[in-house]
Chain A
Amino acid sequence: MAAADTAVDLSQAMRLEPVLPGDWLVVAPLLLTILGGALCLITRKNTEAQPKVAIIFLTLLVLSCAGLLARVLDKGVVTMVAGSWLPPFGIAFTADALGATLALTSSLVALAVAVYGASDVDRSGRRYGFYPFLLLLMTGVCGAFLTGDIFNLYVWFEVLLISSFGLLVLGNERAQLDGAVKYAILNIIATTLFLIATGLLYGIVGTLNMADIAIKARGIGMDGPLTTVAVLYFLAFAMKAAAFPVNFWLPASYHTPRIVVSAVFAGLLTKVGVYALLRIFVLLMPDARAALADLIALVAILTMLTGVFGALAQTDIRRLLGYLVISGIGSMLAGLAIGTTPALAGAIFYAVHSILVMTALYMAAGVMRALGGSFSLRELGGLYGANPAFAAVFLMLGFAVAGLPPFSGFWPKVLLVDAALVGGHGWIAAAILITGLLTTIAIGRVWVFAFWRGGAEGTPDGYEKALAVPDPKITGAGIWLPIGLLLGLIVLLGIQPEFMMQVAGRGAASLGEPLGYLRSVFGDAIQ
């Protein structure tokens, strides 16, 4: 039994150099969320303690992601191989600037959502798993951003998906169940396509490690079945990212759960799909990206436009915001279609912006409902008079999502339009700008109907309806703190974009010129 007596050269199989404690930051996000999630589940009947446990773990998560990003910026790509097994045999967790940035942004959003949820989620919601779902959702999200193994990516996608199911059905309202059916089935099809593509890819290249695939796929080139596999990946992730024309699940479901759930969904879920597209098509299969560039551009433009048209067509704010999520996905895909480093940096910056702003907007929609008693643009009105400070917050968020300065949405838009023009993609630039204008109109309409107008539809001109005094819960710090945190970041990114630009640039560079990534996984011997 004792196998140690047979002489085996361990160095052929395992990475033996001692691991620095700092390297643990790569897996810390997962461990923290799994441990936190399990603890929350064990204590789920103590509904008072749950938010506290979750907020503590999510704060630790934010800190560890921040530490990870600092380390990546300082030392370059960081890798930890699970079980010490040499890549590509074991599972490598590899954090580059892209993954670390998105993980940090997501964890900030999750923390904001947890705080918001402490005021918003009722006892039954807590007891039946709001916080465990949220924490495990973050396991999935962080795992997806940080893993360096494509099958492992699939697993984290599933963790994220099942947790989102839990959040989506929490409450069991009729609309929720209806939305959940469509959401669940279509998303399962998407992840199944992902799994199929991964199985086939394994059949072709015989490996699952991303860095290894990147090397092998460059060797094979876009030939034979690999093209089909690439298209399958594109379809699967486009579905996850809610790109047109496979975005059916998003408008069917995002407006149905409680608002704090919509907020976290809008911030995180689709971006994981975008992240996977960036990872697969720039790092792993750049030839496939080049071959599919026109298709991606078309999808990007149509996604932007159908998204914003959808937003203009809505009466319910939550559904309107859902369509804005879709429209934003189009902008990120535009960066992928252009494919140059500045364009990818624009897409990454946009992803960070979109995570922050969409979550904040859904939270704001929750406040609108609390103040005005409805989500419908026909029934809302008078919010400007009722709470000018909140009106200002909403307007800033609205301008941010429309890409107006000086908010976070402006810079990625400039980067993307610039990259499109320089790269000779005039149509993409035009689509981004037109989408910006249409988004401005959509937000302007919300502002006019819900805020400036005196009351619900049919309120006489010049007359202001007195609104009912809102539930004291929504005026508490538990609501304003998370919104304030996100708004602060949005304004900060708008006024001081330098840090984010550098980080996004680093992320884009590590995708496009993967030497640092490969060396981090396989050691300095590569090339």
Chain B
Amino acid sequence: MEATVSVLIGLFFAVAIYLLMSRQLVRILLGIAILGNAVNLLIFTSGRLLREVPPIIPEALQVPAETIANPLPQALILTAIVISFSFLAFLLVLAFRAYQELGTDDTNEMRVAEPTGDVRPPQGY
């Protein structure tokens, strides 16, 4: 079971990383979004998969009666989801502002911080 999901996770990673290597900010952002999902699924699978038994203790019991899905990865992923969502929101706005100010969404044309041919150190004394 884990193996098949692992292959899907591999696909998530491959797609995310292919998008990230693009020059266009939009594609990079899509890549970041997918990367976040890929990682969450990876953590989820890493804590082993179990079908349909949510980690909730029934009203009548003090401890769960049967084997339940591993709750810890779920908690970790919840934390990670919110964090990656925050970052995505920030990046989206950043990309938008960069586009406004720099007039491009092609990272190769974003050369304000590192202008082309700027490495000309002064010589002499």
Partner-B contacts on A (CB < 8 A): 3, 6, 151, 155, 158, 162, 165, 169, 172, 174-182, 184-185, 188-189, 192, 195-196, 199-200, 202-203, 251-253, 255-256, 312-315, 377-378, 445, 448-449, 457
Contact = CB atoms under 8 A, between A and B. Distances in A.
B69 interface: no
B73 A315 contact: no
B75 to A, nearest CB: 9
A313 B119 contact: yes
Interface in B32-72: 32, 35-36, 39, 42-43, 45-48, 62, 72
A175 B113 contact: yes
Given A158-B83, A189-B20, A178 B90 contact: no
A314 B121 contact: yes
Interface string B85-125: 01100110011011001100001001111100011111001
10 nearest A-B residue pairs (beta carbon):
A203-B46, A199-B43, A179-B113, A178-B113, A178-B112, A177-B98, A175-B112, A175-B113, A199-B46, A178-B110
A189 B118 CA distance: 27
A252 B113 contact: yes
18 contacts: A151-B79, A155-B83, A162-B86, A174-B112, A177-B94, A177-B98, A181-B94, A184-B87, A192-B39, A195-B43, A199-B43, A199-B46, A202-B72, A203-B48, A314-B119, A314-B121, A315-B120, A315-B121
B125 A203 contact: no
Nearest to B98: A177
A445 B124 CA distance: 9
Nearest to A169: B94
Contacts of A155: 79, 83
B46 A178 contact: no
Nearest to A180: B94
Contact of B95 (A181, A255, A312): A181
Interface residues of B, number: 42
Given A251-B114, A255-B113, A151 B76 contact: yes
B26 interface: no
Contacts of B125: 448
A132 to B, nearest CB: 15
A250 to B, nearest CB: 12
A315 B122 contact: yes
Given A192-B36, A199-B43, 8 more contacts: A175-B113, A184-B87, A185-B20, A188-B32, A202-B43, A203-B46, A314-B119, A377-B121
B101 A177 contact: yes
Contacts of A256: 113
A184 B91 contact: yes
Contacts of A203: 45-48
B110 A181 contact: yes
B94 A188 contact: no
A158 B79 CA distance: 11
A203 B72 CA distance: 11
A162 B91 CA distance: 11
A177 B112 CA distance: 9
Nearest to A151: B76
A192 B101 contact: no
A181 B114 CA distance: 12
A202 B73 contact: yes
A181 B86 contact: no
A256 B39 CA distance: 31
Contacts of A378: 122
